[in-house]
Amino acid sequence: MDILKSKLDPENLAALTAIRNPHLHAYIADAIELLDPAQVLVLTDSKEDLQSLRDMAKSSGGGECPLKMKGHTFHFDGCNDQGRDTFSTRYLLPKGVDLGESLNSIEREQGLQEIRGLLKGAMAGRTMLVCFWCLCPTGSEFSISCVQVTDSPYVAHSESILYRPGYEQFKKLDADSEFFRFMHSQGKVNEHGCSVEWEKRRVYIDLTQNIVYSVNTQYAGNTVGLKKLALRLAIQKASKEGWLAEHMFIMGVAGPGGRTTYFTGAFPSACGKTSTAMLPGQTIIGDDIAYLRKKNGKVYAANVEQGIFGIIEDVNSQDDPVIYRALTSPGEVIFGNVLIAEGKPNWVGKGSELREKGINFQGEWHKGKTDKDGKPIPPSHKNARYTIRLSALANLDPEADNPQGVPVGGIIYGGRDSDTHVPVEQAFDWTEGIIAKGASIESETTAATIGQAGVRKFNIMANQDFVSIPLGQYIKINLDFALAVPKPPAIFSTNYFLLDANGKFLNGKLDKMIWLLWAELRVNGDVDALRTPTGWIPKYEDLVLLFKSKLNKAYSQDDYVKQFTVCVANLLAKYDRVERIYREKVSDTPQIVYDTFAAIRRRLQDAQAKYGNTISPLLLKSK
């Protein structure tokens, strides 16, 4: 209490001690001793505190600058802080604990000494912000209370858009209630407010204490603790308590007669996840992270967030009309790493001609400008982002804040794949769905993570970077989750990135709506399907009707054959690659994974002997 009194004025001290949790008080006191701030502000759920946070973010050094449109601001992260740093993100593990070689880790005491050394005195002369948020709707069995300590008003402001207020819920917690903790400092910054010691960027996760430390970074994926960092904590918590924490959207898909079927979907970053959740005529509950629980013999899902931190490249009025309307209307929006010209945001793929000069993440920019290596500097970064509340979207589902969650009818796993998987396919059952669709995702890397783009990468459940338990255990938990569920959700794979021989996409951007609507019909038993060696695919005549009625578009049999030809040889090679990863890197892989791969391989080899390396869908039989 003496430490708290040394930095908190009476008003802020009263706000903190109104939460009668000694573990919280000890955590804040430890943060004060370590970070040495000039003062501490405790933010409650009040409208006044929220407005104060907005004002701080736009003040000098706050991380944001206002744009011409009311409520719009922009933020730059700097040239070397533009994505999730998977290399420097590590788990702090006690001696003797091993998550497997596929997950980055460091011995806990060594890691704590390093990260706390980097954080020592990091807030000298600055204000420490103490913020309280809630994952999922408050007052729900899904909800988890969180506290964030940061010296970045931009980070705190972003969280106020993305997460539900949690101060009042904290006040209701028991003295021994569990909560998640996040400690962040942007470190030294330049005149533009960007973190400059990016070589010392660290994001360390202490699973034993539910604490995440991050320093020398501002990019939201490394600093907004409640996002992917909290997902890592939640996965471990869920594994102990019998529920799932997944990298999934939740959306309502419109079926015949006013019916709504809820789907979750897991896609690696920049693979169409948000654009799927925002399809015209459908409703959104959340675009990124979902918690799934079993109740009354059914699976229910709740959205962890109340906002979107989305990739803005190629968001335009034609392909993403709902998001585009929200981004170009007055309201609270943070634009990150876009081009700013004459007080307005510009980005690649906006659908209108870009300005030829302005400022962006690297400073002054003009058309044709190159970097030190002579490479063209794009007007906006490929991983440029927007942060916005879901309530700003016209298609928000009425059940978005239901504390009970929504019943899940189907689960979708997608990725970037130019030559192997068909646009949509239903797994034969839950086991094959989890193993052959979810636990076998390969996807080309994108600018959303630091490193080389365009590399085909294994990404289990589109959750590889965030799994905080051994991968074999993670698969088993997913397989066992359907036990005691008489009719578990149907599982589908999707692929929006098939290319023809000339390197052109075989599908239009809105075609994904047809694949989703077909999946909705399958969940409800309204259409038959064709059997392939790896699952069920649509019949041509059903797609013709959907394309005509939903997109007013003719769908040729030639297009159907190109898109839904089964690439037997490529699939065999894919499952060989994935199995090799499990055998070489996942020591605790359940035997059922190998048995499932063997069964799929036999079916593919039988088909190869009968049809050759490819199978036209016109040769397949109905269910």
Residues with a known catalytic role? 271
Residue 559 contacts by C-beta under 8 Å, 6 or more apart in sequence? 506
Residue 236 contacts by C-beta under 8 Å, 6 or more apart in sequence? 207, 468, 469
Residue 408 contacts by C-beta under 8 Å, 6 or more apart in sequence? 250, 262, 263, 264, 292, 298, 299, 300, 301, 489
Residue 106 contacts by C-beta under 8 Å, 6 or more apart in sequence? 90, 91, 92, 93, 114, 204
Buried b or exposed e, range 437-448, using 16+ CB within 10 angstroms? bbbbbbbbbbbb
504, 507, 508, 513 alpha-carbon torsion, rounded to 10°: -160
Q: Where are the alpha helices (DSSP H) in 265-320?
A: 273-277
Tokens standing for residue 540: 């041509």
397 neighbors 252 (Cβ within 8 angstroms) = yes
Q: What's the gap between Cα 39 and its chain centre?
A: 33
Q: Whole-angstrom distance between the N-terminal and C-terminal Cα of the chain?
A: 69
386 neighbors 346 (Cβ within 8 angstroms) = no
The maximal CA–CA distance of the chain, rounded, in angstroms, is 80
Tokens standing for residue 39: 């003062």
DSSP 60: T
165 neighbors 134 (Cβ within 8 angstroms) = yes
Tokens standing for residue 400: 């978005």
139: number of Cβ within 10 Å: 12
- Where residue 533 falls (left for φ over 0; alpha for ψ -120 to 50; beta otherwise) is alpha
In order of 304, 396, 522, 600, the CA distances from 594 in angstroms are 33, 41, 28, 10
The identity of residue 428, as a single letter, is F
428 neighbors 535 (Cβ within 8 angstroms) = yes
In order of 107, 167, 495, 563, the CA distances from 506 in angstroms are 48, 49, 11, 7
From the list 22, 2, 27, 346, the residue with the least C-alpha distance to 209 is: 27
200 vs 193: CA distance, rounded Å: 17
State whether residue 292 is helix, strand or coil. strand
126 vs 117: CA distance, rounded Å: 18
What's the sign of the alpha-carbon dihedral 206, 203, 460, 384? positive
DSSP 396: B
Q: If 0-12 CB within 10 Å is exposed, 13-18 middle and 19+ buried, where does residue 330 land?
A: exposed
β-bridge mates for residue 109, sequence order:
none
